[in-house]
A and B are shown apart, each in its own frame.
Chain A
Amino acid sequence: MNKVLMQGNNVIAEAAIRAGCRFYAGYPITPQNELCEYMAEHIRKVEGGVFIQSESEIAAINMVAGASAAGVRAMTSSSSPGISLKQEGISSMAACELPGVIVNIMRGGPGLGNIRPSQGDYFQATRGGGHGDYRVIVLAPATCQELADLTMDAFDLADNYRTPAMILADGMMGQMMEPVVFKEPKRRQYPERYMLKGAGEGKSRFIKGLILDQSDMEEHNWKLDRKYQVIMKNETRFEVYRAEDAELMIVAYGTAARIAKGAVKRLGDSNLKVGLFRPITLWPYPSSELREFSRKIKNFIVFEMSTGQMLEDVRLALQGFADIDFYGRPGGVVPTPAELANVIIHRYKKSSKKKELC
């Protein structure tokens, strides 16, 4: 298949269409506008493709819920403040077990913040985001190739588990251009019985999240939880880089992981032994895989473009078996690999000094 040079936002849209997405609703917000614009131009060219520029983020996610219930692959995209508005609908889709893909091209926050790349929405994404007891599958690409691959996978995961899935990237990923090869998408396997198409001659059905009886509601929560347990068991993904003889490990995802990889590469020629652990699924979090490394590595640095959110998951994963340091650049600041390399050198020395003292 041909390699094409494309911008991240466009890659997501193209991958979605190739994966069989036939319904897109969205609302303009920087830095994800190109995704919406690409959809406007291309999704209607395919049979059955529907594009709606909605009046709000809230309307968009509810349109997606309706389209999903009606039986097609559906997607919406936005950036941080817009994703906050969508939470009502995402919670509702999780409750009603409706598949759908939501893309968050994060920007600086809180509030209106700015339009620079940031990773401040980690908590929101990985803890469900809206009200109630639910989770959303969260995939964190770090290259344009991954934007393509993970977008396709997000549709499969959403269908398989009948739950919303999110692509969590940032303005940097959305705006940059890289060569991409679109893989052949899998055939959709989503049973007709979950679709709402009119009862025909048969029994009518309804889809709902309102369960007034508390014991039924409790059972629904446990039912969702059993599904989440299966997802946690089967769907964690991560990448490790130069972990073999590492004495210090950086943990970072998305754009931060790219920067970290650059820093680790730079340090390759020095005598510092630094590796990288990059979670690809942020929920489910690859906790036990990360914990495995704490058997031989006792120093970790979490690097995020936030004040420290994934940091909590790393702490939960490592359970005190290793020292955890944190370096963060929130608010839309994107540090260079050189800056991070300096931080690593500094902390590396500090930790070896500590070792000597012991």
Chain B
Amino acid sequence: MKKVFGRPHSLKTSVFHYCPGCGHSIAHRITCEVIDELNIRGITIGVPPAGCAVLAYFYFDVDMIEAPHGRGPAMATGIKRVLPDRVVFSYQGDGDLTAIGIAESFHAANRGENITVIFINNAVYGMTGGQLAPTTMLGQKTTTSPLGRNASLDGYPVKLSELLVPLPGTTYIERCAVNSPANILKAKKAIKKAFQCQMEGNGFSLVEILSPCPTNWKMSAVDSCKWIDEVMTKVFPLGVIKDTPAAGKKTGKTEKEENAG
């Protein structure tokens, strides 16, 4: 009998610690499926964040090194510059990437670092118990915006993916969601494309994934999926945001060769 579905080889057998209905597990799985399909398990190095995915190395069966909160793109830069033929990705949440680590993400993108960022946007700080994140919706209640996010006091949801578009160093940016089978398939395709971009030396790629956090949204898993469609995507519309591989294309030369002109 032909096997049509199984556990990806690059996903370890450990049981996910994520809450039921959490999008992290799905994002992990599809990333591992892509790693399998591209046959890059042995040359991939991942950088998990501080946040709910801090234990990602228990699930990804690839080499990994933890970064301090928000510093994933800097850490990934160091690794990739030393090992340019490896596939290097950082996996980060919205607090990690768009708050404390915005400088690192912005400048890695601007340098056109040939790395991939998987950006999980669930509109809250998950691990610390659901505080306001830069990506929190206006009016959304969190533990630190108990009356709902108030624009005049708390500012507006940060659209980091769009912010990176004008940077010539960025090559491929797409926003996806993991709230329905169709969206999950699209997200997987986007991750694959981002990794391929990197393998072709096209520069910085990022896949933003709108991801349910039922625990902190205080919703059922099903309602969380609906909330992504009905509320989040209104501010964070899904789709390809930038796809211009040529702009950030790397020359493939070493720094020594570049330096020699």
A contacts, CB < 8 Å to B: 22-23, 25, 44-52, 54-56, 58-60, 62-72, 74, 88-89, 92, 96, 196-201, 204-210
Contact = CB atoms under 8 A, between A and B. Distances in A.
B68 A204 contact: no
Contacts, number: 146
A199 B63 contact: yes
Given A44-B256, A56-B104, A205-B63, 6 more contacts: A59-B77, A62-B68, A197-B45, A197-B63, A197-B83, A204-B61
B66 A209 contact: yes
Contact of A55 (B65, B75, B104): B104
A44 B54 CA distance: 34
B74 A206 contact: no
A60 B77 CA distance: 10
A306 B260 CA distance: 45
A206 B65 CA distance: 5
B103 A55 contact: yes
Contacts of A23: 78, 81-82
B255 A49 contact: yes
B41 A59 contact: no
B161 interface: no
A200 B85 CA distance: 13
Interface string B232-261: 000000000000000000000011101100
Contact of A198 (B42, B66, B103, B259): B42
Nearest to A69: B65
B63 A204 contact: yes
Given A44-B259, A62-B71, A210-B66, A196 B78 contact: no
A60 B60 CA distance: 27
B218 to A, nearest CB: 25
22 contacts: A44-B256, A48-B82, A52-B81, A54-B107, A56-B103, A58-B104, A62-B78, A63-B74, A63-B81, A64-B78, A65-B65, A66-B67, A66-B76, A88-B71, A96-B66, A197-B45, A198-B86, A199-B63, A204-B62, A206-B66, A207-B64, A210-B55
A45 B256 contact: yes
Interface residues of B, number: 40
Contacts of B254: 47-48
A44 B256 CA distance: 5
A324 B75 CA distance: 46
A310 to B, nearest CB: 30
B215 interface: no
Contacts of A65: 65, 67, 75, 78
A60 B75 CA distance: 9
Contacts of B44: 198
Contacts of A67: 78-79, 81-82
Interface in B145-172: none
Helix, strand, loop or mixed for chain A's interface?
A: mixed
Given A23-B82, A198-B43, A206-B65, A59 B255 contact: no
Contacts of B50: 210
A74 B79 CA distance: 11
> When A and B form their complex, which 10 residue pairs have the shortest distance between CB atoms, in order from nearest?
A66-B78, A206-B57, A55-B107, A62-B74, A63-B78, A70-B82, A67-B78, A44-B259, A62-B71, A66-B75
Given A70-B83, A71-B82, A200 B77 contact: no
Interface string B203-236: 0000000000000000000000000000000000
A110 to B, nearest CB: 24
Contacts of B65: 65-66, 69, 96, 196, 206-208
A47 B82 contact: no
Contact of A63 (B42, B63, B77): B77
B57 A208 contact: yes
Given A23-B78, A59-B107, A63-B74, A92 B68 contact: yes
Nearest to A202: B42
B53 to A, nearest CB: 12
